[in-house]
Amino acid sequence: MNAIVIDSRVRRSLLGAAIVLFASIAAAASPQTGASKPAIRKLGTIDCDLVEATPIVFRGQLYRFEYVRTRYRKNKTGQPYFRFVRVATGEPTPAFAVGHNLGSAFVDDQTVYVYGVKGWGTDTIYVFWSKDLKHWSSATALKQPGWAIYNTSVCKAGDRYVMAFEVGKPKEVVGRPFTNRFAESKDLVHWTLLPEPHVFTKERYSACPSIRFLDGTYYMFYLEARPGRIYETYLVRSRDLIHWETSPLNPVLRHSPEDRQIANPALTREERRRIATAANINNSDFDLCEFQGKVVIYYSWGNQHGVEHLAEAVYDGTLAELLRGFFPAE
């Protein structure tokens, strides 16, 4: 019988595929409960040096909100700004909120709201709103003198809106940075801080919130620092923003070989080389929305210190199924 010779590149490809498959199978079950976690499929990297991104559905179309950092290769303005990208066509909207950072987006009826800070770790959250993604109004949403505020996320909760936002200082407010605090609003423009003990959590690192509300319960994805300087996306829930339950199926996302898949054919050879070789210790800045019966997810991966990539994933089901699926009945 003739021996079958397999080219070394093919062997490496097969080995890589086997590793990815094994990791996917291993991640699908929880050692604590034996239950299977909702299956999130990573689709790969969209871009380099984009991090904070929010998927939204506006007038029946899927858009990706992007915070464009100064160092982004296509940013020739010398300043950060916000924009939206129509996912179906890749067409960006005009830039707005020039000079602002760390944005997030929320849709209410026929209006899009965007929240962000000016600088990193500043004490004021600004809100921008528009009915056409071209003409924007703005106001101060919340000011907390002496606080260092970073990422934000907003959801509708009954007859009010709730914002989760990441705080880095002062120490008496955050305990061990980073910490998530909460605010409420009736109109999405004027916000009031919810006092302690409305906090998650002063005991350990908890950053990059993404909050949702379902059947009287708040669900919040956030970034958890793990031993060995690893950062993973976790999920907790609460009925009062005070008492919190952690999913027994955490982590929701952890870094893996699938992060390096190419989801954007326009990426250059140099960018693909970087994606293939960059250090990867985190899956962070998780955000999501439901669109056409699936959950669209954006997240960041990289070294957590400036070499970062924007990636996408999908859950084949509804948002309610995804959220409930991480808290199986005992």
Domain containing residue 312: CATH number: 2.115.10.20
Give the integer Cα–Cα distance in Å for 40 and 322. Answer: 9
pLDDT score of 208:
98
pLDDT score of 18:
40
pLDDT score of 329:
84
User: Which residues in the chain land under pLDDT 70?
Assistant: 1-34, 330
What are the structure tokens assigned to 211, written together? 């909050």
Q: Which residues contact 20 (CB under 8 A, 6 or more apart)?
A: 256, 257, 258
Residue 26 domain-assigned (yes or no): no
Residue 309 domain-assigned (yes or no): yes
- C-alpha 230, offset from chain centre: 17
Q: Which residues contact 89 (CB under 8 A, 6 or more apart)?
A: none
Query: Contacts from 67-70 at CB under 8 Å and sequence distance 24+?
Result: 67/101, 67/102, 67/103, 67/116, 68/95, 69/101
Residue 87 domain-assigned (yes or no): yes
pLDDT score of 35:
77
pLDDT score of 22:
38
According to DSSP, the β-strands at 53-58 and 137-143 are unpaired
Residue 22 domain-assigned (yes or no): no
> Across the strands, what pairs with 84?
65
CB atoms within 10 A of CB 305: 10
What are the structure tokens assigned to 283, written together? 């899956």
Give the integer Cα–Cα distance in Å for 242 and 219. Answer: 12
Question: Sheet holding 111-117: strands in order across?
Answer: 101-108, 111-117, 124-130, 137-143
Residue 128 domain-assigned (yes or no): yes
Q: For the chain, how many structural domains are there in total? A: 1
pLDDT score of 61:
98
Residue 175 domain-assigned (yes or no): yes
Asked if 64 contacts 84 with a C-beta cutoff of 8 angstroms, the reply is yes
Phi-psi region of 56 (alpha: psi -120 to 50; beta: other; left: phi over 0): beta
Give the integer Cα–Cα distance in Å for 229 and 19. Answer: 22
Domain span at 252: 32-325
> Across the strands, what pairs with 259?
none
pLDDT score of 330:
54
Residue 1 domain-assigned (yes or no): no
